[in-house]
Amino acid sequence: MTKNNQIVLEMEHINKTFPGVVALDDVSIDLRKGEVLGILGENGAGKSTLIKILAGTYLKDSGSIIIEGKKVDFKNPAEAMDEGIRVIYQELNTLENLTAAENIFLGEQELRKPFPIISWKKMVEESKRILKQLNVDINPNTVMEDLSVSEKQVIEVAKAISKKAKILVMDEPTAALSEGDKDSLFEIIKTLKESGVSIIYISHRLKEIFEITDRVTVLRDGKKIQTVNTQDSDDNELVTMMVGRDISEMYPKRKVPIGEVVMKVKNLKAEEVEDVSFELRRGEILGIFGLLGSGKTHLVKALFGANPIKEGEIYLKGNKVNIKKPWQARDNNIGLVPVDRKMDGLALMLGVKENITLANIQDLGKGFLIKKSVEREKANRWVKNLGISTPSINQAVNSLSGGNQQKVVLARWLESGSKVIILNEPTRGIDVGSKVEIYKLMQDLCEKGAAVIMISSELPEILSISDRILVISRGRITGEYSTEEATEEKLMQTACIR
């Protein structure tokens, strides 16, 4: 890369507050032409908010954005697009029934002038040119659903650069990719860099940051910690900046005696779940690791009765159980903390108290009516025990921070007396301090005789907190490791077995 210090983008003193949370607190970044700037931070550090402000999706509260010396003020995504800002989000946004070429030119079809008729020939030719420029071999006429996840992602990149792209933002682009696919993505990033595109690369995976970025800005709890040249830094420095504490404090692990088998799953088949068997023991934290699309969330839903079980058996303490609906799971003392807290976990408009008692409304007094004193007492107890920080138990949960919201969901299942608690990505989108508290709570539960299934795609988390790790890929268990033998590489490799 030629040394080029021309600054393409400056975001200065950006502030953004959501009800109850300061998402960004005086954050400034700058981006040079043709560089890859990493933005590193834990979930909830403010990475996504920063990007959404750049993309015009969120309005900033204060601060300024300067692109090539010109101050801009985006009111919507279209205005940001006009300035050459392209964002590729973590979740792919491709239309499955259309061809690759149609997706690349979505909304911007080449027209056969002077008539408003789409020129299919020109569109396909242009797509070929762009894909060639990215050094990939994909037929533009292929229907999207026939492409692999990584190929779909390439199409997203092609779509982003089909129109004059100055700044390309990639939000956790490797979340669904295997090691090999990741390498080819990095090749594409290098090609783009050489052609003068500036790239913001968001990740919380250190290895990738060292592999691909020139500089890296670390965010923590909505604040910018520092920007460093990647080659002048190392793992330790970045981690310390990122979590603000030592790794051993980050993942506290206690020895809890592990007892008898409390849950046994035998040859389970359900939607996206091909054949899953495992045992769960009292006092154990069983980690399940899998990439996006591995079937992990479907497995959770099947275990909890939210998705129908096609074949296979579930035993609790040796007795076969028939769980067809979530209330049967609840009555069998199984609890679920879903992956999407806001969509699946909480009734956001309702208060802390209502959300804590949501799974056990029947227990709020005898007969038809709710006994308010019983409910208040229960809610207060859990707010105190779990240290949920809220002005009152009547506060609507949507104004709580992610960590406190997660504790509310957890409190619901503690109130329900769950003995098997399934947590799907328990620390997604919550600040570092709350993460540590969640880990401690999980282990408290184990000490009290419960068993925990923790689904996670966070490697450090799953490696440090689990007692045993299962790896799932394409709906099958592809590996089982004790904590001692597990490493990041082994888990990633096993997760990519098809």
Q: Say whether residue 343 binds another protein (CB under 8 A).
A: yes
261 binds another protein (CB under 8 A): no
Sole window of 7-15, 25-33, 120-128, 353-361 interacting with another protein (rule: CB under 8 A): 353-361
Binding segment toward another protein, per CB under 8 A, in 129-137, 220-228, 328-336, 462-470: 328-336
Rounded (10°) CA dihedral 416, 420, 424, 425 = 100
Min separation Cβ 273 and another protein, Å: 17
Peptide bond into 114 cis (omega under 30): yes
Enter the DSSP assignment of 94: -
* Residue 368 touches another protein, criterion: CB under 8 A: yes
Nearer to another protein, 132 or 342 (CB): 342
Q: Which is nearer to another protein, 259 or 391 (by Cβ)?
A: 391
Nearest to 188 by CA among 165, 164, 157: 157
Contact flag: residue 276 with another protein (CB under 8 A): no
Is residue 477 within 8 Å of 279, Cβ to Cβ? no
- Of 131, 336, 436, 446, the residue at the interface with another protein (CB under 8 A) is 336
Q: Which two tokens stand for residue 359?
A: 């799974």
**75 makes contact with another protein (CB under 8 A):** no
| Residue 89 within binding range of another protein, rule CB under 8 A | no
Neighbours of 5 (CB within 10 A): 7
Sign of CA dihedral 332, 333, 338, 342: positive
324 binds another protein (CB under 8 A): no
Q: Is 370 in the site for another protein (CB under 8 A)?
A: yes
Kindly state whether residue 415 participates in binding another protein, applying the rule CB under 8 A.
no
Draw the binding track, 378-407, toward another protein (x: CB under 8 A; -: no contact).
-------------x---xx-xx--------
Q: Which of 1, 117, 361, 497 is close enough to bind another protein by CB under 8 A? A: 361
Count of residues that bind another protein according to CB under 8 A: 37
* Stretch of 76-84, 346-354, 381-389, 468-476 contacting another protein, by CB under 8 A: 346-354
Residue 442 Cβ, how far from another protein at the closest point, in Å?
19
Least separation, in Å, of the C-beta of 370 and another protein?
Answer: 6
Smallest gap from Cβ 83 to another protein, in A, equals 26
Stretch binding another protein (CB under 8 A), from 5-13, 62-70, 280-288, 345-353: 345-353
Helices (H), 95-148: 100-104, 120-133
Nearest approach, Cβ of 340 to another protein (angstroms)?
Answer: 9
Strands in 70-72's sheet, in edge-to-edge order, are: 21-32, 7-18, 62-67, 70-72
HSE-CB for 467 with a 13 A CA cutoff: 20
Residue 362 touches another protein, criterion: CB under 8 A: yes
Strands (E), 410-474: 420-424, 451-456, 468-473
Environment class of residue 374 by beta-carbon count within 10 Å: exposed (0-12), middle (13-18) or buried (19+)? middle
Nearest distance from residue 355's CB to another protein, in Å? 8
Tokens describing residue 475: 């709906």
Question: Interface with another protein includes 42 (CB under 8 A)?
Answer: no
Of 485, 469, 467, the residue nearest 477 (C-alpha): 469
Q: Report the 10 Å Cβ neighbour count for 69.
A: 9
Closest CA to 286 of 300, 298, 306, 270: 300
> Could you say which of 77, 326, 433, 460 contacts another protein (CB under 8 A)?
326
In degrees, rounded to 5, the angle at the alpha carbon of residue 119 between the alpha carbons of residues 118 and 124 is 120
Query: Phi and psi (nearest 5°) for 444?
Result: -60, -45
End-to-end CA distance of the chain: 37
Given a contact cutoff of 8 angstroms between Cβ atoms, the answer to whether 15 and 63 are in contact is yes
Q: With respect to another protein, which residue has the nearer C-beta, 19 or 114?
A: 19
* Residue 344 within binding range of another protein, rule CB under 8 A: yes
Rounded least distance, CB 80 to another protein, Å: 21
**List 2, 369, 485, 498, residue binding another protein (CB under 8 A):** 369
- Asked if residue 331 binds another protein (CB under 8 A), the reply is yes
Enumerate residues 6+ apart whose C-beta is below 8 A from 287.
454, 455, 456, 462, 465, 466, 467, 468, 469, 470
| Binding span for another protein by CB under 8 A among 275-283, 316-324, 366-374, 473-481 | 366-374
Find the shortest distance in angstroms from Cβ 344 to another protein.
5
Q: Which of 358, 374, 492, 496 binds another protein (CB under 8 A)?
A: 358
Cα angle, residue 180 at apex, residues 177 and 185 outer, rounded to 5°:
65
> Nearer to another protein by C-beta: 290 or 345?
345
Distance in angstroms (rounded) separating the CA atoms of residues 253 and 267: 31
Among 13, 129, 245, 325, the residue binding another protein under the rule CB under 8 A is 325
> Contact positions toward another protein, by CB under 8 A?
19, 304, 306, 325-327, 329-331, 336, 338, 342-350, 354, 358-359, 361-362, 364-365, 368-370, 372, 391, 395-396, 398-399, 412
